[in-house]
Amino acid sequence: MKELVVISGKGGTGKTSTVASFAALAPRPVLADCDVDAADLHLILSPTIRDRADFVGGNRATIDPERCMGCGACQEYCRFDAIHWTPEGGYRVDPIACEGCGVCVRFCPGEAIDFGAAVNGEWFVSDTRHGPMVHARLGIAEENSGKLVTLVRKKARETAEQLGLNLIVADGSPGVGCPVMASLTGADAVLLVTEPTPSGFHDLDRVVELLRRFRLPAMVCVNKADLNLELTEQIEKYAIERGLQVAGRIPYSPAVTEAQTAGLSVVEYGDNDAAESLRTIWDRVAQLLQLTPNF
């Protein structure tokens, strides 16, 4: 089984649009949306949910007023300013500020604090027109997105094994944080999507530095490449110098936005320059899946 992860150093580079096109081009893939903080692959693929479950990523403290002695030890030891005194109800835990560390539970002399499981979001297994898809939704201001990414990838692999499919295409998280590392761990190949802007180049450099730790075969493609050909050439030169392959360039095209409005990937929308470029890039990425690490 092979797993391709598509990532970017920053949001808004066209990563999800690229994955949606790969979904249409790849041979019977299992799709995984690992961008759980701001999942949007479902907007193009219109999944039909067939299985869903809560995501429990940690614990959260609650104070039982019947058992609370009012000593204030919990507030004293809390380093997240999550426990406050209220004249009406005594000490209370702010569920948004609580990090689930358990220190208050450890030092409460009256054992008045419960430490139950915290539901941080939901995960789904769905059907799309291009095959099965595993995706998730993290709750507002919730933590543990890295754990949820790991769960999404695990369920995608289980789905592939159950259906006898041998390819997973994952829409990874942007940036360089914990969700990105959770997206990359154990993958077979990576495609980096960037754009010819100073911020795009800067964030590409950051994610390449992270990627070196994983020793994965990787390619770079430049989206909206014709908007700044000089910077596009600099990015491609940089990629080659760092040992990455250049997958190709995607030109700016109004067809991309038009396809999204129609709920389609750009390669499904019709003949256009962007679709043709994505087909070429997919062919090169498919070859990459057979390569050994190039770092």
Q: Give the per-residue pLDDT at 293.
A: 47
- pLDDT tens, the chain, 295 aa long: 999 999 998 888 999 999 999 999 999 999 999 999 889 999 999 999 999 999 998 899 999 999 999 999 999 999 999 999 988 879 999 988 998 999 999 999 999 999 999 888 999 999 999 999 999 998 877 777 899 999 999 999 999 999 999 999 999 988 888 899 999 999 999 999 999 999 999 999 999 999 988 888 999 999 999 999 999 999 999 999 999 999 999 999 999 999 999 999 999 998 899 999 999 999 999 998 884 444 4
pLDDT at 141: 72
Rounded to two decimals, what is the model's pTM? 0.88
CA–CA dist 209, 238 (Å, integer): 12
Q: What angle do CA 131, 37, 57 make, to 5 degrees?
A: 95
**Which one, of 29, 13, 267, 9, lies nearest residue 170 by Cα?**
29
The per-residue pLDDT for 58 is 85
Q: What is the Cα–Cα distance from 279 to 273, expressed in whole angstroms?
A: 10
Q: Do the Cβ atoms of 132 and 30 come closer than 8 Å?
A: yes
